[in-house]
Amino acid sequence: MAKQHYATSSLVIGYALCSSLLAIINKYAVTKFNYPGLLTTLQYLTSAAGVWALGKLGFLCHDPFNLETAKKFAPAAIVFYLAIFTNTNLLVHANVDTFIVFRSLTPLLVAIADTTFRKQPCPSKLTFSSLVIILGGAVGYVITDSAFSLTAYSWALAYLVTITAEMVYIKHIVTNLGLNTWGFVLYNNLLSLMISPIFCWFQLDAFVAVALSCLFGLLISFFGFAARKAISATAFTVTGVVNKFLTVAINVTIWDKHASAFGLVSLLFTLAGGVLYQQSVTAKGNIASAQRETASEELKDESDSAEYDEEKQKLISS
């Protein structure tokens, strides 16, 4: 049990680090490389080719690619592609803080969608309160955003819709399709690559930015699908929000394109709601685990008692 807990924690931490750094790397990449469509294409190419090559060399094991499974996975790949496409274009037209705020709104929407479409349990009062805190912080940021533009917020709304659908639907696919983690990475990136536009680029600094983006695109694919298997859709979504503390710190340090002081406070307020949510879910999980252990002990005691009575009856009969 403890080993599984540490394995899950490692996957979640790996996903959180990749997610927080990738937002900064992608922002840097799109400032140096003004082809967001090609950037996502190269990420898919790197991930799909990397999994295939490492599989051929025997460093990892992935499910073989076949048409029947591809047909089942295709809708998830389309939703994933749209989420990444809107994400990249949002980073082109807005600063990282705006991206984080809209990303922070997804847990509330995912929790509602998870309950409605996947018949998951309704969030507890504490959990729902933490999601409302996230919403309040996001609203506080938006009303003080000096860099507000219709184009940026149009992409932000499109991203919000697609990322919510992606979180819920891919959790459904991960739960039911039965591929291993590297198999999901291969199918997701190869199918996304097939629907990506193709462009070209030449500058060295753009190449470095794109190369970093592609590398972290591969890493987040692995940690993302592994974490999706290990935790719920809402918990996974909140993990993607909480890790943005690191993104905010890096963004404020290296760029002057970020929110005002009040906007940053609202942003941190939003992220604090994510932390509160995570704590509420963790506490709930610990209680459920304790209840399961207690029930297991009771069943064991009953079983031992029944065996004792049966043995006693045999002795009397003889």
133-173 tens-digit pLDDT? 877 877 777 677 666 678 888 998 999 999 999 988 888 88
Helix (H, G, I), strand (E, B) or coil at 33: coil
Cα(232)–Cα(168) distance, integer angstroms:
10
The pLDDT of residue 315 is above 50: no
Q: Give the range among 139-143, 149-153, 178-182, 199-203 with minimum mean pLDDT.
A: 199-203
pLDDT at 183: 94
281 confidence band (pLDDT: 50, 70, 90): low
CA distances from 213 to 291, 302, 303 (A): 44, 57, 57
Most confident of the following: 2-6, 90-94, 179-183, 275-279: 179-183
The pLDDT of residue 190 is above 90: yes
pLDDT at 63: 93
Is the pTM of the predicted complex or chain greater than 0.75? no
Question: What is the per-residue pLDDT across 229-269, written as a single tens digit (0 to 9) for each?
Answer: 888 887 887 787 777 777 777 776 666 555 667 766 776 77
Q: In one letter, which amino acid is 71?
A: K
Cα(135)–Cα(114) distance, integer angstroms:
18
Q: Which residue has the higher pLDDT, 287 or 230?
A: 230
**Given the structure tokens 């209840």, which residue do they identify?**
291
Query: Nearest to residue 42, comparing CAs of 159, 213, 188?
Result: 213
Q: Where are the domains of the chain?
A: 8-317
The answer to whether 233 and 110 have CB atoms below 8 angstroms apart is yes
The pLDDT of residue 290 is above 50: no
188 confidence band (pLDDT: 50, 70, 90): very high
HEC-encoded secondary structure of 29-81 = HHHHCCCHHHHHHHHHHHHHHHHHHHHHCCCCCCCCCCHHHHHHHHHHHHHHH
Tell me which DSSP letter residue 1 carries. -
- Mean pLDDT of the region 197-223: 77
The answer to whether 77 and 233 have CB atoms below 8 angstroms apart is no
Backbone angles phi, psi at 57, to 5 degrees: -80, -5
The 10 Å Cβ neighbour count of residue 58 is: 7
Cα(155)–Cα(72) distance, integer angstroms:
28
